[in-house]
Structure 1
Amino acid sequence: MIPPKPPSRPDRVSLWRYAKLFRQDILSAQPARLYRAWMAEFRTPFFRSYLVNQPDLVQTILKDRPGDFPKSDRVGEGLRPLLGNSVFLTNGPEWERQRRIIDPAFEGGRLKEIFPAIWDAAEAAVRRLDVHAGDAVEIEAQTSHAAADVIFRTLFSIPIEHEIASQVFDQFRAYQRTQPILNLAAFLPVPRWFPRFFRRETKKTAAQIRALITELTKARMAEIEAGRAPDDLASKIMTTEDPETGERFDTEEMVDQVAIFFLAGHETSASALAWTLYLMALYPDWQERVAEEAQALEHPDFAVMSRLKLSRDVFREALRLYPPVPMMVRQTTCPERFRDRSIPVASQMVLSPWHLHRHERLWDNPDGFDPGRWATENGKTCQRTAYMPFSAGARVCTGAGFAMVEGVLILSMLLKHFRFERVEWRVPEPVAHLTVRSRDGIWLRIARRAG
């Protein structure tokens, strides 16, 4: 049985047809040949766009010369109402300054310190799902709840039930389906001088989310000044000085960063967990093996993570098949020559984990679910050269290690207590909104495990 993926469009369609397909879903708007191509060119009257799958060229862009390929400004156009000037959108010296302040909060030792908070969120997820035992539920809603709970517990030391945390979560659910991670302008022929329009509801919801985050941030700043702030991620980031300038984030800057922490840490984790649970329902033999391994979960001791090897391989394979962020866009700052093609300045370089992770000329059984692949030579090679669910190089996601601990722990905790089964008449179809979600949700039947 092959996990579902979206249909591909014909190789040749009109620009108008492509724009229409793109607005519906960026994944199904792409042709099937991209799963075999090393590079593909898309020309418009205003700029050129190149999708790059060849591993050494991907390495050039992300690892060898990242300064020559900054994030495209076009990517931020759709998300700026929510994210402001966050580390996700900035480039150059400003991005470097932000990373110098943020990175220390996610160092290895900090993961061990916040592990009990992630454990508590996982146990809370078990309690919420227990109410639905015996029923068919839309699991994306449940994983969104769990991932948001993790963010608020680790960032601000409050559970999702906290009044403001609950409001942010509710508002974000309204936001997530109205704004794609890649704005239409990132790929289509919209000149830079053309005014950008946002749906009224999108702007309104983004403003409401930012107002709530501002309230939390100001309250924490007051606690820090009073010397009674908890030692969580928010406190660590807000008290960290840039080692080069001695500056800290002010309130507005911190709101920008919290917004991207919530987006990256909640939306992406929710997507990855939902698809992993669906794959477990699709492959019950693997599910039982993970459930057996999960019996090691007894106490909130970070050392237990070293015993969840199978769960890690399963989660890693789910990230390969359903990378939460399916595409990322960089921009050339000087003329380039890739694969004997001349690439002009200001061209869009599209890197697609979605296509790279399923590339037919790189992976063995690219569309199949096989957690055992990571022990094979092909799997080990591709993990180094063709696997980037968290991006790669200098701009690799700061929270990548955090996400792997969170995803593996919650997956193991849920499978220790429940068995997940498919709802036969509901096969999910992947589409790209803020992350890779299912068009009509992911429906699974939940059963309690004996004992």
Structure 2
Amino acid sequence: MTLPPKPAARPDKVSLRRYIRLFRDDILSAQPARLYRAWMAEFRTPFFRSYLVNQPDLIRTVLRDRPDDFPKSNRISEGLRPLLGNSVFLTNGEAWKRQRRIIDPAFEGGRIKDTFPAMRAAAEACVSRLSEKTDQTVEIEAETSHAAADVIFRTLFSIPIDHQIAAQVFSRFRDYQRSAPILNLAAFVPLPNWVPRFHNRRTRRAARDIRSLITRLTADRQAAITDGTAPDDLAAKIMTTADPATGDIFGTDEMVDQVAIFFLAGHETSASALAWALYLVATHPDWQDKLAEEARALDTTADFAVLAQLKLSRDTFREALRLYPPVPMMVRETTCPETFRDRAVKPGAQVVLSPWHLHRQTRLWDNPDGFDPTRWHSENGKTCMREAFIPFSSGPRVCPGAGFAMVEGPLILSMILRAFRIEPVGPAPVPVAHLTVRSRAGIHLRLTRR
């Protein structure tokens, strides 16, 4: 069976007004088809130049070799600031480095291993919920969102998704998703700091409610830390870790910023990747059977060691991340004159790094639009994994939760396939980019008990 269609590409040349309208609706279909084969493309507006970079050595320069010269662009962050404040996702320079020094120890290998029981409990709860929906059509993105949010709350605060505050955060976040545009006006027009950012009322209200609820969780955890009764989870680890350079720890407001991005990045991206992974195996029954057979390892091994036996699931989840990277584009800004492919790039230019296009680059990948989890063991796949695979970014700004996601995703995928046979229902889903890459009308599957 063929994969879902790629978004319909726009013509190579459109007016700025038409491009902005397309971009705000869906950044994937706003791009011309030539970007799947181009090494670099330039886009001009009256206010700035934007360069989409699709060439591995240039991407390496921006993300790995000279990241300080290419900070995150504030143009893209403006739309997320009501929810994320000054979180590690948005900051640059010394503020970002300080935040990462405090956050990174919580996501080291040993700490991820410690979170495995909570992840497995969330996966079992997901299977239990799905058991009540067998032989029905299920919108699987809603289910993977629920499961991923459950993982975040269990690992971060040691509470399940049905905890009163956790449930409220999850509910309000769905409102935020529906109301928050992928881009704010500031992405296209340079605005002074004193000019309002025109976030709509519903977005502001949802962000305010989410942050208020997270503040309650954070304050309660700080009280438990003070009393010596806090569980040994990710929140406790982060809130008690001092910056080795300064001795500072996160205050309540700053911790709220970080929890907001952990929830957004850790829940939204994992939910997206897992939903697409389930659709891919639903459309490839031979792979589904292989994964179900492999998942029998979960019957005899309950701890972290089982992951070593879920190799096909890991390859399949990685292939879903390649074909449907949750974060389809990342934007950096030049701080000094550059030369890219013999073209002068001035300070202030926007450098767009697109996992969506890079992962399907026709000059780099064998069978770029095909579903093939075995590719990761071929010479082409190994090379591309090093040079052209960036679902979690790369270099110093690689997502601190990348290792976390590569445990959570294959585990939940295996748990679901161990219990159910799945098949697609209705038209093929069409990927669009909002906060992450989702389906325009949902992903509908039918589950039957194995």
Would the TM-score normalized by the shorter structure come out above 0.5?
A: yes
Residue 10 of structure 1 pairs with residue 8 of structure 2: no
Residue 139 of structure 1 pairs with residue 140 of structure 2: yes
Contact persistence 1:358–1:367 (CA under 8 A): yes
**Could you tell me how far 1:184 is from its partner in structure 2?**
5.2
Task: Report the equivalent of 1:300.
Answer: 302
Contact persistence 1:177–1:434 (CA under 8 A): no
Q: Whole-Å Cα distance in 2 between the matches of residues 282 and 412 of structure 1?
A: 16
Task: Report the equivalent of 2:213.
Answer: 212
Task: Report the equivalent of 1:120.
Answer: 121
Q: Whole-Å Cα distance in 2 between the matches of residues 322 and 148 of structure 1?
A: 20
Counterpart among 345, 348, 369 of residue 346 in structure 1: 348
Q: Which moved more, 1:293-302 or 1:30-39?
A: 293-302
1:154-169 → structure 2 map (5 Å cutoff): 154-169=155-170
**Could you tell me how far 1:195 is from its partner in structure 2?**
4.0
Task: Report the equivalent of 2:268.
Answer: 267
**Could you tell me how far 1:19 is from its partner in structure 2?**
1.1
Q: Calculate the TM-score normalised by the size of structure 2.
A: 0.98
Q: What per-residue deviation string (whole Å, max 9, x for no partner) do you get for residues 19-44 of structure 1?
A: 11112111000000000000000011
Residue 171 of structure 1 pairs with residue 172 of structure 2: yes
Structure 2 counterpart of 1:445, which letter?
R
Task: Report the equivalent of 1:192.
Answer: 191
1:50-89 → structure 2 map (5 Å cutoff): 50-89=51-90
Task: Report the equivalent of 2:412.
Answer: 410
Q: Whole-Å Cα distance in 1 between the matches of residues 245 and 393 of structure 2?
A: 26
1:310-325 → structure 2 map (5 Å cutoff): 310-325=312-327
Task: Report the equivalent of 1:362.
Answer: 364
Contact persistence 1:125–1:146 (CA under 8 A): yes
Cα RMSD for the two superposed structures: 0.9
Task: Report the equivalent of 1:31.
Answer: 32
Q: Whole-Å Cα distance in 1 between the matches of residues 350 and 156 of structure 2?
A: 34
Structure 2 counterpart of 1:3, which letter?
L
Q: Please, which runs of 5 or more residues in structure 1 have no aligned partner?
A: none
Q: Whole-Å Cα distance in 2 between the matches of residues 437 and 178 of structure 1?
A: 15
Contact persistence 2:24–2:183 (CA under 8 A): no
Q: Whole-Å Cα distance in 1 between the matches of residues 294 and 203 of structure 2?
A: 43
Q: Which moved more, 1:35-44 or 1:171-180?
A: 171-180
Q: What per-residue deviation string (whole Å, max 9, x for no partner) do you get for residues 99-155 of structure 1?
A: 000000000000111100000000000000000001001000000000000000000
Percent identity between matched residues is 73
Structure 1 counterpart of 2:83, which letter?
L
Q: Whole-Å Cα distance in 2 between the matches of residues 97 and 432 of structure 1?
A: 31
Task: Report the equivalent of 1:152.
Answer: 153
Structure 2 counterpart of 1:8, which letter?
A
1:326/1:445 CA distance change after superposition, 3 Å: same
1:397-436 → structure 2 map (5 Å cutoff): 397-423=399-425, 425-436=426-437
Q: Whole-Å Cα distance in 2 between the matches of residues 37 and 179 of structure 1?
A: 31
**Could you tell me how far 1:16 is from its partner in structure 2?**
1.1
Q: Whole-Å Cα distance in 2 between the matches of residues 420 and 258 of structure 1?
A: 34
SS at match of 1:78: helix
Q: Whole-Å Cα distance in 2 between the matches of residues 210 and 350 of structure 1?
A: 30
Structure 1 counterpart of 2:3, which letter?
P
Structure 1 counterpart of 2:82, which letter?
P
Structure 1 counterpart of 2:2, which letter?
I
Runs of 4+, deviation exceeding 6 Å: none
Contact persistence 2:184–2:198 (CA under 8 A): no
Task: Report the equivalent of 1:256.
Answer: 257
Q: What per-residue deviation string (whole Å, max 9, x for no partner) do you get for residues 396-424 of structure 1?
A: 0000000000000000000000011010x
Q: Calculate the TM-score normalised by the size of structure 1.
A: 0.98
Contact persistence 1:23–1:184 (CA under 8 A): no
Q: Please, which runs of 5 or more residues in structure 2 have no aligned partner?
A: none
Q: Whole-Å Cα distance in 1 between the matches of residues 151 and 67 of structure 2?
A: 31
